[in-house]
């Protein structure tokens, strides 16, 4: 039981960190185009959330509560370095977009 609660905690912390860091990255990177970029990322988040509603019930029934929560914990652990990757490779990502602000702006 404690492992499941720990996995839920890690999953929640990682999702919040990814959410905040990705929104801050988009706002800082796209400047006057940030509203459009935030709309797109919010739409993708809603689509994924809608899909998870349909996937969650069969997943809990199929592999059980323990393994479902463990799987979500592993996914969170794999995605945990995402904010650091934004920090390290952000300038290279911005170079690929014509709408992003440059480091010298």
- pLDDT (tens digit, 9 = 90+) per residue, 5-39? 787 788 788 788 878 888 888 888 888 888 888 89
Provide the whole-model pTM. 0.56
- 85-94 average pLDDT score: 80
Task: Select the more confidently predicted residue: 26 or 100.
Answer: 26
Whether the pLDDT of residue 1 is over 70: the answer is no
Q: How confident is the model at residue 43 (pLDDT cuts 50, 70, 90)?
A: very high
Residue given tokens 């370095």 in the structure block: 81
Least Cα distance to 86 among 25, 13, 17, 7 occurs for: 25
Least Cα distance to 104 among 95, 83, 27, 37 occurs for: 95
- Which residues make Cβ contacts (< 8 Å) with residue 71, sequence separation at least 6? 59, 63
Domain ranges of the chain: 2-95
> How much is the pLDDT for 102?
65
CA gap 13, 60 in Å, rounded: 21
Q: Dump the DSSP string for 65-99.
A: HHHHHHHHHHHHHHHTTHHHHHHHHHHHHHHT-SS
> How much is the pLDDT for 47?
93
CA gap 54, 93 in Å, rounded: 33
> How much is the pLDDT for 92?
82
In this predicted model, what pLDDT tens digit does every residue of 46-76 receive, in sequence order?
998 888 888 888 888 899 888 888 887 788 7
């Amino acid at each position: 039981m404690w492992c499941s609660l720990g996995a839920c905690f890690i999953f929640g912390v990682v999702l919040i960190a990814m959410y905040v860091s990705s929104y801050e990255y988009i706002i800082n990177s796209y400047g006057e185009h940030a509203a459009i970029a935030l709309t797109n990322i919010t739409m993708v988040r809603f689509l994924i959330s809608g899909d998870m509603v349909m996937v969650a019930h069969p997943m809990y029934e199929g592999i059980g509560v323990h393994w479902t929560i463990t799987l979500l914990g592993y996914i969170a652990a794999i995605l945990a370095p995402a904010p650091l990757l934004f920090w390290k490779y952000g300038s290279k990502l911005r170079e690929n977009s014509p709408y992003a602000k440059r480091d010298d702006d």
